[in-house]
Structure 1
Amino acid sequence: MSAPEIRRHDDADLLVGDIASALLDRLEAAQARGEVPQVGLTGGSIAEALHRELARRAADSSLDWSRVVFWWGDERFVPADSPDRNARQAREALLDHVAVDPANVHEVPASDAVATAEDAAAAYSADLREHGDSAFEVLMLGIGPDGHCASLFPGHPVLSARDAIAVAVHDSPKPPSDRVTLTFETLGRSRAVWFIASGEGKAEAVARALAEDGSVEETPARGVRGEETVWWLDEDAASALS
């Protein structure tokens, strides 16, 4: 694995536009090779802006959206219609506006579909085992001000999960408390990991994640690397980097 690459942008709008261009180019190239690329989506305000930009560009792109497979790095264990669901956000901003194949959209089961977060994690693991590729073409992740990524929080017991695809998370320090997350091992099976961060509130966590020294226990985002890893930052999020 190569060292993380840092791409800085003057503001959030330029950041979103550059990510959208790079993602479309990468997925189109994969399809040109005869592949059906698999993408891991994330949630949050900057991800929502990216999803809307991708939907806006869909008509001018040569990407065949029906030949892209979608997953999520984590999900909140809430009812399917909850605004807290990352999948609902992605559907409303992107997936409902492009010609996806519903069979290629793989959501974590919601709390009104299965009884427990453990059940949801088991079902999602089985789904990824059956329909996942050997690696995500692109896995997009955010980073929290505390340094968490997906639903891997500092000091949380799930950081030590091994030999598991997805696990249940309870007592999340950020509500809602019950979640499902892919593990470090699963997140790392990615050709490209793209961290996306915007705003001064993320600056300290970004600096800790990219520092030469530090622990995954303190800053879980340090624990995810792909074959290539890119940090997409606006200047506010990059402001604490030396």
Structure 2
Amino acid sequence: MTHERRVLVHSDRAALAASVAARFITTAVDLLHEEGDIHVVLTGGSVATEVLDAVNASAARDTVDWEHVNFWWGDERWLPYSDPERNELQARTALLDHLDIPAENIHPFASSDGPLDLDAAAAAYADELEAASNDGTVLPRFDITFLGVGPDGHIASLFPHLPGIREDTASVLTVRNSPKPPAERLTLSRPALNSSRCIWLVLAGPDKASALGLALAGASRDEVPVAGIKGRRYTNFFVDQEAAAEVPENLTASSF
């Protein structure tokens, strides 16, 4: 099976969010036609939230049969349920609370004010992932996984030089020493993320240019974790012009 990696450059941040949202809707419709149901992994951050806002605002939003879409998260901050910094709350506010979707299709990580401690929360999410698998593996079939990229090249809560990026067995990891607050987090592992059919990395701004350029130039995943991310079929980098400043021209394509 061939793998495709593309960098799609957009004129600015607004165009980026609108384009990714439109592509997500059409891709979801196509995948639902092929598969019957799909599993989507969400990420946090301002650009990701803008994409979900754009999906919600789209006139085509309800061409997707949301009853057959399952949502998971690539990582989560270990914070109280109602904390506005939780990725779950941001996604619910931007999109999920506006959809006609069964509650059981939404799979958030536990929160710090719930009954589980951090380790138990990681184990519970791993169990939930395995229960959703229909092929005897420990993961459901992830169809589209959204990821942001930090200025240091981190993805999900897998940070440079920390052991999480080197984990190759567990599906869900705890993080207790995140260099970006809060210190405690939950995250999918690199192999879990890479099990996805399509990985969509969405990034904007000049502070992301160095990490993106290094990743595409073959940097070590320990130094630049995004360099270790590769979907089973597609790895697409959706970027604005500022983030694309250090990308080799032969790897880029204009948005469509």
Moved over 6 A (4+): none
Moved more, 197-206 or 139-148: 197-206
Structure 1 residue 160, shift from structure 2 partner: 2.1
Matched, 1:181 2:187: yes
- Aligned partner of 2:92 in structure 1 is 91
Query: How far apart, in 1, do the equivalents of 2:231 and 2:13 lie?
Result: 24
Query: How far apart, in 1, do the equivalents of 2:131 and 2:162 lie?
Result: 28
Question: C-alpha offsets along residues 194-231 of structure 1, whole Å, 9 cap, x if unaligned?
Answer: 000011111111111111x3200000011111021000
The letter for the 1-side match of 2:224 is T
Matched, 1:163 2:169: yes
**Which residue of 205, 217, 222 maps to 1:217?**
222
Moved more, 66-75 or 52-61: 52-61
Structure 1 residue 41, shift from structure 2 partner: 0.4
Structure 1 residue 116, shift from structure 2 partner: 2.2
Structure 1: gaps of 5 or more residues? none
Query: How far apart, in 2, do the equivalents of 1:220 and 1:60 lie?
Result: 33
Query: How far apart, in 2, do the equivalents of 1:60 and 1:4 lie?
Result: 27
Q: Equivalent residue of 1:233, what SS?
A: strand
Cα 1:35–1:74 change in 2 (3 A) is same
Query: How far apart, in 1, do the equivalents of 2:118 and 2:132 lie?
Result: 21
Cα 1:58–1:73 change in 2 (3 A) is farther
Query: How far apart, in 2, do the equivalents of 1:158 and 1:139 lie?
Result: 18
The two structures, once aligned, show a CA RMSD in angstroms of: 1.4
Structure 1 residue 134, shift from structure 2 partner: 4.1
- Aligned partner of 1:191 in structure 2 is 197
Moved more, 125-134 or 171-180: 125-134
Query: How far apart, in 1, do the equivalents of 2:83 and 2:77 lie?
Result: 9
Is the 1:58–1:98 contact (alpha carbons within 8 Å) kept by the matching residues of 2? no
Matched, 1:13 2:14: yes
Normalising by structure 2, report the TM-score: 0.90
Query: How far apart, in 2, do the equivalents of 1:158 and 1:34 lie?
Result: 32
Matched, 1:52 2:28: no
- Aligned partner of 2:151 in structure 1 is 145
Structure 1 residue 162, shift from structure 2 partner: 2.5
- Aligned partner of 2:253 in structure 1 is none
